[in-house]
Structure 1
Amino acid sequence: MKKLITALSLSITGIALPVSAQTDFQTDSVFIRKIYDTALAEGKAYEWLRHLTQQVGPRLSGSEGAAKAVVYTKSAMEGAHFDNVFLQNVLVPHWVRGAKEKAQLINGKQKTEVPIAALGGSVATPKGGVKGKIIEVRSFQQLRDLGSDKVKGKIVFFNRPMDPTKINTFEAYAGAVEQRAAGASEAAKLGAIGSITRSMTTRLDDFPHTGSMRYASGAPMIPAAAISTNGAELLSKTIKENPDTEFYFEQYCETLPDAASHNVIGELKGQTNADKFIAVGGHLDSWDFAQGAHDDGSGCVQSIEAVRILKTLSYQPNNTLRAVMFMNEENGMRGGVTYADSAKSKRETHIAAIESDHGGFSPRGFGIVGTPAQKAKIQLWTRLFAAYGIHELGPGGGGADIGPLAQQGTVLLGLMPDTQRYFDYHHAANDKFETVSKRELELGAAAMASMLYLIDKYGL
Structure 2
Amino acid sequence: MKRKFLPVLLLSLAITGTSMAQSGYKEDSVFIRKIFHTALSDGKSYEMLRRLTQEVGPRLSGSAGAVKAVTLTSEIMKAEKFDQVFLQNVMVPHWVRGAKEEGAIFNGKQKTVVPLVALGGSVATPKTGIKAQVIEVKSFQELRDLGTSVVKGKIVFFNRPMDPTKLNTFDAYAGAVEQRGSGPSEAAKMGAIGCIVRSMTTRLDDVPHTGSMRYASGAPMIPAAGISTNAAELLSKTLKTNPATEFYFKQSCEILPDAPSHNVIGELKGAKSPEQYMVVGGHLDSWDIADGAHDDGTGCVQSIEAVRLLKVLGYKPNNTLRAVMFMNEENGLKGGIAYADSAKSKKEKHIAAIESDRGGFTPLGFGIVGTPAQKQKIKSWQPLFSPYGVHELGVGGGGADIGPLGQQGTVLMGLIPDSQRYFDYHHATNDTFDKVSRRELELGAASMAAMLYLLDKYGVE
Q: Indicate the TM-score class for this superposition, using the shorter chain for normalisation.
A: over 0.9
Give the aligned partner of residue 103 of structure 2: 102
Give the aligned partner of residue 135 of structure 2: 135
Give the aligned partner of residue 244 of structure 1: 244
Using the size of structure 1 for normalisation, the TM-score is 0.95
Task: Name the SS of the counterpart of 2:388 in structure 1.
Answer: coil
CA positional deviation for 1:385 = 0.2
Query: Within 2, Cα distance between the matches of 1:22 and 1:173?
Result: 42
**Residue type at the aligned position of 1:54:** Q
Residues 1:343 and 2:333 aligned together: no
Give the aligned partner of residue 218 of structure 1: 218
**Residue type at the aligned position of 1:378:** I
Give the aligned partner of residue 15 of structure 1: none
Q: Deviations over 1:328-367 (max 9, x none)?
A: 0000000000000000000000000000000000000000
CA positional deviation for 1:100 = 2.3
CA positional deviation for 1:126 = 1.0
- Which consecutive residues of structure 1, in runs of 5 or more, have no partner in the other structure? 9-19
Task: Name the SS of the counterpart of 2:72 in structure 1.
Answer: helix
Query: Within 2, Cα distance between the matches of 1:317 and 1:106?
Result: 64
Give the aligned partner of residue 186 of structure 2: 186
CA positional deviation for 1:22 = 8.9
Query: Within 2, Cα distance between the matches of 1:444 and 1:199?
Result: 27
After superposition, the Cα gap between the structure-2 partners of 1:161 and 1:267, relative to the gap in structure 1 and judged at 3 Å, is: same
**Residue type at the aligned position of 1:111:** K
Does the 8 A contact of 1:21 with 1:458 survive in 2? no
Does the 8 A contact of 1:89 with 1:261 survive in 2? yes
Query: Within 1, Cα distance between the matches of 2:25 and 2:440?
Result: 25
CA positional deviation for 1:106 = 1.2
Give the aligned partner of residue 32 of structure 1: 32
Task: Name the SS of the counterpart of 1:323 in structure 2.
Answer: strand
- What RMSD over aligned residues (CA atoms) do the two structures have, in Å? 1.5
Give the aligned partner of residue 196 of structure 2: 196
1:22-421 to 2 correspondence within 5 Å? 24-98=24-98, 99-107=100-108, 110-421=110-421
Q: Deviations over 1:56-103 (max 9, x none)?
A: 000000000000000000000001110000000010000000122110
Give the aligned partner of residue 11 of structure 1: none
Task: Name the SS of the counterpart of 1:30 in structure 2.
Answer: helix
Does the 8 A contact of 1:32 with 1:450 survive in 2? yes
**Residue type at the aligned position of 1:103:** A
Query: Within 2, Cα distance between the matches of 1:97 and 1:317?
Result: 44
After superposition, the Cα gap between the structure-2 partners of 1:21 and 1:415, relative to the gap in structure 1 and judged at 3 Å, is: farther
CA positional deviation for 1:305 = 0.2
**Residue type at the aligned position of 2:104:** A
Give the aligned partner of residue 13 of structure 1: none
Query: Within 1, Cα distance between the matches of 2:459 and 2:51?
Result: 35
Bigger Rg over Cα: 2
Q: Deviations over 1:8-57 (max 9, x none)?
A: 9xxxxxxxxxxx99981000000000000110011000000001001100
Q: Deviations over 1:408-449 (max 9, x none)?
A: 000000000000000000000000000000000000000000
CA positional deviation for 1:107 = 1.9
**Residue type at the aligned position of 1:100:** E
Q: Deviations over 1:156-190 (max 9, x none)?
A: 00000000000000000000000000000000001
Moved over 3 A (4+): 20-23
Query: Within 2, Cα distance between the matches of 1:363 and 1:440?
Result: 7
Report the count of equivalent residues.
444
1:422-433 to 2 correspondence within 5 Å? 422-433=422-433
Task: Name the SS of the counterpart of 2:111 in structure 1.
Answer: strand
Give the aligned partner of residue 453 of structure 1: 453
After superposition, the Cα gap between the structure-2 partners of 1:374 and 1:22, relative to the gap in structure 1 and judged at 3 Å, is: farther
Query: Within 1, Cα distance between the matches of 2:185 and 2:233?
Result: 23
CA positional deviation for 1:121 = 0.2
**Residue type at the aligned position of 1:81:** K
Query: Within 2, Cα distance between the matches of 1:248 and 1:127?
Result: 12
Query: Within 2, Cα distance between the matches of 1:159 and 1:294?
Result: 25
Query: Within 2, Cα distance between the matches of 1:191 and 1:250?
Result: 19
Task: Name the SS of the counterpart of 2:430 in structure 1.
Answer: coil
